[in-house]
Structure 1
């Protein structure tokens, strides 16, 4: 450590690179001086320390960003960067002096990491690949040259246009170097290049309906990479091995093998800094840090197959057919891989439990604290979403700080809300909702205090992302459902939380539309959220019936209709909201008007109390023949129905309306249903339905209805 630090302090390249970095921030700066360019190109050579490499990455990134910001099109930026680097780099690669050749090779590999478009353009120039491979003959005993060539081929294999230039000779050389045992660092670099080349070639072949041969099978490669992770003492070979496994861990058999190897998992998870405030991998570590690869492996091990609707499944099938015009073999092979039993939900669930036991959650939360990288945090969010799919895992995720990690990720995704935005919807991609969805799953099955802690401010902060997942056009129906469920849970925390939810931009309008959704679960979630908000927020109470207007009357009509759907939880939520709203005389007046117009309010409320006694609403007679038996009563519906009826009776102010409602209640059997409800409480005088039922019968008696004994 001391020698590395000493090299950093005394290496003159550091001072030059620091000076160049300052110049890149100057608006008048145009390009490098010859000595500055030479220093930058040489900065990635193994002759320099890791600290110099890091400084080189920062300068190179600053320059490439500067050039791209000065142009309006990607091609123009690529040309500008190539104009600066192409000639000095290619001339060094073709040089006969090993030191210069090594500088050219290592710089081109670094450029792939920082700006792959310009690096790919240089790599594809006539004669460049040949010059790279010629260095192996020119310096046959140079371990550093072999390593640099393996790194470049690995970088190139990750990009389709460059990959097309790599042939059988390049594959054979990589396979040869990956099988040698003298140099583990070279072995890892060659193996990761092979993995990327094989994966990329398979994807390229699938696009045209062909197939690509694998130089080594996945089991052999995975075993090699696993061994390097467990035993490697070289940082670069460790990073290469992790990168290779990140590519390979999409294979179901590899997933199973990795998830069962506790020694490997322990070493892999230990690569993530655990101490809060530990040095975070940043831009200069893009080629050397295994952090990103580690979280990708975790995400791949616990990833479920995409949930496709029947329409989406049919589209996917048509796409597979379109990509395999040369016969059924390729299509069958692809389908077998997609339908691999090792990737079914049960196997994924077991893999998730195994890696959680091995410490995956601690590694994921530490990764979020260790870096601000959007890419790393996005993958962490995806991994946690997969892990919390299994309800049995959610407690472990919470214990390991999963909720706090998700909140940090979400804060980095969502721009701060500003009053000047005027309700403008932020630009979000579908992947941005994954951490929000994971947090919603936790908020559905645990109390808000367990998820967000005792600070109510954290609960308030969660309202915005959940509301966005309901209203944003990029969110899917499942995400909207889970967001509404989470908001329902939050709304029960306090009246302030309910009020803040109700005031979220566009939320209530969207929820009202989702109450009419054909999907039962979505409709249920929307209705339950409204039920909680009606009870917890005065604004929503007034909007839904506390004030007399046509809009509230329409909303009451929707609630009455939802009291008559097949889904019991939806009926409970809708009747619960009505029970609250009927405390308002204005709501009662609107319900009487709806009863006079459609003659459905009283029958539907009566059906809640006793469906076997109360006459079905007009227009529902045709459904009776389809019913094998009368719908069964539910204690929750009975209680809500009796409260609604009691409130409605006592909320009617008009004398004529009172008499009409009393007569109609008798005609449809509602009076008998109330009597039976009271008799049912004979053995339970503390029943909560006894008093409102008795008060309802008293009101009916006072309005001329004969109560049967």
Structure 2
């Protein structure tokens, strides 16, 4: 069959399974799939074969749901897939010619990437592992192509626990021997063998750790291939010696691809991280493997992307600059229970002690590694990777790497210069294109934590730089950033830190224009979420939320009215305004500045001032709080419902704080607006008399006196206007 005929047949298979017209393969279709992964097969044909195999396996599993009590090996979907391919695979594997054997090996390698459960089940069948041993030891010991295919198959099998234990010691010894070869013709095979050994080593170590927790038998965890450092040395040499391959390095038979895949596995180890990040020549060669323009990798399926240098390079970058995750209280408690489970009975107090942290994993080392890889060209490599591939896996990894790199504020300017904001915007656009679902009574895309990380990285850039620097001079680009930040803010999978950073970024954008403020205010669920966070005990969260509301009150008519600027807001607006006034009395200066600024702006509305007057008549707390903005030494009558404040007043322990010029200005404006905009004269007199009793009149007089020498002082005029109204209400003022 010609390549074009093969592609037509594969297109037909894809169409049938996408349309769900059937869930079985015809004999000639099975034969075509098994032979479509040979090294001689054109890349485009092999890509379609991956998609066809994926479509078939997915359709079979949809038609054969797994029962909860069944194991992976016995579920109906796995049985059906194994039944489809087992016999023709065995026939090819038992063949006497190299093409037949190669077809079986490459097909099973592809099946591991598409459906590891069924591939493991086929590998477990009688005689399969023995046949593999016979092939490399007796039947084709001198065939580089067959040896490479076996090494790649073992590498895939080693990545899954169900098949890892099937790999015989004879095969491991063969892989070690192959890895030590020095001749120039064996670089493809050496790379594949090294990857297989690394996966075995890492997988067995993970199995051993899990076995120690559960108390089950531990697998063999002996060091393979002469130790990790020796394997890393081999793989680094393959990368440095590999010539540039005009964008053909995406092929799964490339030694460069295998070497980079192996290094990606190894780069989670702290010692290896330090070694790789300290080698500038290696890093520059590694980053040069990513094409500057979109090329052949854009055609790769998600299954093949995992085999490309493109994916491996981005994974290495993400691993090298990654910070040690900070555990939540719940995660820390789970980790403690696991440590206790690993401690033998009678282990003493050591069960509750924190595990020793590798010093190479601390934040200082992660920060320095990030700076090293940036010097070697990591930022250009990441932006090029995002341009070169539409793969979701590649882009999410790039977003994770950007998030780690912008953790260091000194890197943020370099990230912007390296096209990081544009790359993140591309990643985020793809993420937010997912269909919206009803989440917490709102329409939101269903996002995993890894999909929120690129938005968080962009938010960090937007916090410390102006919107023009991050999004460019086009106002539309800035407005487009509002949606991802608002999604991160309201999404239930966001952490408190991500919510905080979303608020900070939105606050910066809101200060740019009224149009931006209006769009932020209209984001679904945003205002309700921010108002909830304004009541958080965490000072920074409360402060950031209040600052955003302050900006929105000034820039959005909708928010202005929502907070009592219009009587149509009713009791809701009145209560929200009361919350803002209450926040003027918290300990944090920045929160007080933001909330008092919002109140000063809202009190330009007569409706809002009438609401404040009514609240003052009901609770007698509004005027005292506003008075303390002007003069913190004013001690109002304690609220009978606030036992702590009553005790402070009775004991004389409530200490006045030094006045802040910003608070004084805002407080004076609030008082002036309240006296000016309350309509009834009796109300003005009541407020003036209460102000006199509190000592506010004398405080305003001192403010006027202290600022009278500077005619340009912004506080002078509103102070004079407030005092004038009080004088008209019969209050005697001595300046």
- Cα shift at 1:559: 0.7
Say whether 1:224 aligns with 2:227. no
Structure-2 separation of matches of 1:427 and 1:328: 45
C-alpha distance in 1, partners of 2:374/2:309? 20
Structure 2 equivalent of residue 487 of structure 1:
506
Number of residue equivalences: 696
Match of 2:426 in 1: 408
Say which SS state the counterpart of residue 95 (structure 1) adopts. coil
Residue 670 of structure 1 is aligned with which of 676, 683, 696?
A: 696
Q: Given the alignment of the two structures, is residue 152 of structure 1 paired with residue 142 of structure 2, yes or no?
A: no
Q: Which secondary structure does the structure 2 equivalent of 1:424 belong to?
A: strand
Task: Return closer, same or farther for 1:119/1:518 CA change in 2, 3 Å cut-off.
Answer: same
Deviates more, 1:278-287 or 1:119-128: 278-287
**Alignment partner of 1:184 out of 182, 187, 190:** 187
The Cα offsets for residues 584-630 of structure 1, whole Å up to 9 and x where unpaired, read as 11111111111122221111111111112454754425346696853
Q: 1:13 to 1:309 in 2, by over 3 A?
A: closer
Q: What residue in structure 2 maps to residue 697 of structure 1?
A: 723
- d(CA) in 2 for partners of 1:67, 1:613: 76
Partner of 2:215: none
Q: Paired residue for 1:575? A: 596
Question: 3-state SS of the aligned residue for 1:622?
Answer: helix
Deviates further, 141-150 or 412-421: 412-421
Structure 1 residue 60: deviation in Å?
3.2
- Partner in structure 1 of residue 114 of structure 2: 114
* CA spacing shift, 1:191–1:419, aligned 2, 3 Å: closer
The corresponding residue for 2:318 is 299
CA deviation vs aligned residue, 1:212-270 (integer Å, no higher than 9, x gap) = 33224332222221111111248421111111111111111111111111111111111
Structure 1 residues 343 and 124: alpha-carbon distance in aligned structure 2, compared to 1, 3 A threshold: same
Structure 1 position 32, deviation (Å): 5.1
Choose 68-77 or 393-402, whichever is displaced more: 68-77
| CA distance in structure 1 between the partners assigned to 2:208 and 2:93 by the alignment | 31
* Equivalent pair of 2:155/2:196 in contact (CA under 8 Å): yes
**Equivalent in 174, 189, 209 of residue 206 of structure 1:** 209
Q: Determine the C-alpha separation between the residues in 1 that align with 2:699 and 2:394.
A: 61
Is 654-663 or 379-388 further displaced after alignment? Answer: 654-663
Local SS of the residue matching 1:131 = helix
Structure 2 Cα separation of the partners of residues 287 and 551 of structure 1? 54
Distance verdict in 2 for CA 1:415–1:455, change over 3 Å: same
In 1, distance between residues paired with 2:684 and 2:723? Answer: 14
Alignment of structure 1 residues 341-352 onto 2, 5 Å: 341-352=359-370
1:30 deviates by 6.5
Q: 1:387 to 1:626 in 2, by over 3 A?
A: farther
Judge conservation of contact 2:436–2:445 (CA < 8 Å) in 1: no
Decide which moves more: 94-103 or 523-532. 94-103
Q: Give the Cα separation in 1 of the matches to 2:451 and 2:436.
A: 20
Q: Which residue number in structure 2 is paired with residue 57 of structure 1?
A: 50
Q: 2:293 aligns to what?
A: 275
- Say which of 622, 627, 632 aligns to 2:647: 622
Aligned to 2:470: 451
8 Å CA contact retained: 2:36, 2:45? yes
Name the CA distance, whole Å, in 2 between partners of 1:273 and 1:295: 13
Deviation at 1:170, TM superposition (A): 3.3
Q: CA deviation at 1:439?
A: 1.1
Q: Deviations over 1:5-53 (max 9, x none)?
A: xxxxxx8244234333224414656655555543432333334455554
Task: For residues 631-681 of structure 1, give each alpha carbon's deviation from its aligned partner in whole angstroms, at most 9, with x where no partner exists.
Answer: 122111111111111111111112222111111101111111111111221
The change in CA–CA distance for 1:302 and 1:616 in structure 2 (over 3 A counts) is farther
Deviations 1:378-430 (A, max 9, x none): 11111111111111111111111111111111111113788999942321212
Correspondence for 2:283 = 265
Which deviates more from structure 2 when the two are superposed, residues 244-253 or residues 61-70?
61-70
Task: Decide whether the 8 Å contact of 1:229 with 1:268 is kept in 2.
Answer: yes
User: Is 1:639 the counterpart of 2:665 in the alignment?
Assistant: yes
Contact (CA 8 Å) 2:306, 2:312: kept in 1 or not?
Answer: no
Q: CA deviation at 1:199?
A: 1.0
Which residue of 605, 612, 616 corresponds with 1:584?
605
Q: Does 2:448 align with 1:438?
A: no
Structure 2 CA distance, aligned partners of 1:416 and 1:157? 33
Give the aligned partner of residue 500 of structure 1.
519
Matching of residues 250-649 of structure 1 within 5 Å? 250-276=268-294, 280-283=298-301, 285-286=304-305, 288-323=307-342, 325=344, 339-415=357-433, 423-548=442-567, 549-613=570-634, 615=636, 618=639, 619=642, 620-623=645-648, 629-649=655-675
Report the equivalent of 1:6.
Answer: none
Q: Is the 8 A contact 2:6 2:45 kept in 1?
A: no
TM-score scaled by length of structure 1? 0.92
- Provide the residue aligned with 1:12 in structure 2: 2
**Closer, same or farther: CA 277–659 of 1 in aligned 2, 3 Å:** farther
Q: Give the unaligned 5+ runs of structure 1.
A: 1-10
Distance 2:45 2:157 in 1: 24
Q: Shift in Å at residue 122 of structure 1?
A: 1.1
TM-score, normalised by the number of residues in structure 2: 0.89
Distance 1:627 1:188, change over 3 A: farther
**2: distance between equivalents of 1:141 and 1:542?**
82
**CA–CA separation in structure 1 for the residues paired with 2:93 and 2:343:** 41
In the TM superposition, residue 481 of structure 1 has moved relative to its aligned partner by 0.8
For the residue of structure 2 that corresponds to 1:43, the secondary structure is: coil
Cα 1:177/1:645, change in 2 over 3 Å = same
Alignment-derived partner of residue 170 in structure 1: 171
Indicate if the aligned counterparts of 1:21 and 1:62 stay in contact, CA closer than 8 A: no
Counterpart of 2:97 in structure 1 is: 97
**1:38 matched residue in structure 2:** 31
Structure 2 stretches lacking a partner, 5+ long = 67-71, 213-217
Structure-2 change in CA distance of 1:552 and 1:59 (3 Å): closer
**Alpha carbons of structure 1 residues 476 and 23: separation in structure 2 relative to 1, 3 Å:** closer
Offset of residue 435 of structure 1: 0.8
Match of 2:445, SS?
Answer: coil
Kindly state the Cα deviation for residue 542 of structure 1 after the two structures are TM-superposed: 0.7
Q: Name the Cα RMSD after superposition.
A: 2.7
Question: Aligned residue for 2:712?
Answer: 686
Instruction: Report the secondary structure of 1:425's partner residue.
Output: strand
Shift of 1:314: 2.9
In the TM superposition, residue 483 of structure 1 has moved relative to its aligned partner by 0.7
Bigger drift between 272-281 and 294-303 goes to 272-281
The match for 1:123 is: 123
Structure 1 window deviating more from structure 2 (250-259 vs 310-319): it is 310-319
Distance 1:550 1:50, change over 3 A: closer
